[in-house]
Amino acid sequence: MKIHKGDNVIVISGSEKGKKGQISRVFAEKNSVIIEGLNLLKRHQKARKAGQKGQIVEKAMPINMSNVALLEGGKPVRSGQKKVGEKWIRVSRKSGKEI
């Protein structure tokens, strides 16, 4: 998997196209990610206790991984892998720098 939690990404297609954010959660089995503050959906929530009011809650929904790109220096880049010693690290295909 090329995108991890905490990575800065840009949305490259869909209704949120061009917006940037940080990944807060990754669903590898569904091939999707949740980005903080993007792709928000409003849900109406009933009152839980007597005397309490209902409310409208905004919930971040997943975006497919194919619709986001990693950011390096403010520009979208593709990532690859490079073996350094015994470990594999992610590198930018454009510049060759470590991500």
pTM score of the predicted model: 0.82
CA angle 80, 83, 89 (to 5 degrees): 55
User: Domain ranges in the chain?
Assistant: 8-73
Task: Spell out where 1-99 has E strands.
Answer: 8-11, 20-27, 32-35, 40-45, 55-60, 63-64, 68-72, 75-77, 79-84, 87-92
Q: What is the pLDDT of residues 49-74, one digit of tens each?
A: 888 999 999 999 999 999 999 998 88
- Architecture of the 8-73 domain: Roll (2.30)
Q: State residue 1's pLDDT score.
A: 65
| Alpha carbons 50 and 5: distance in angstroms, whole number | 39
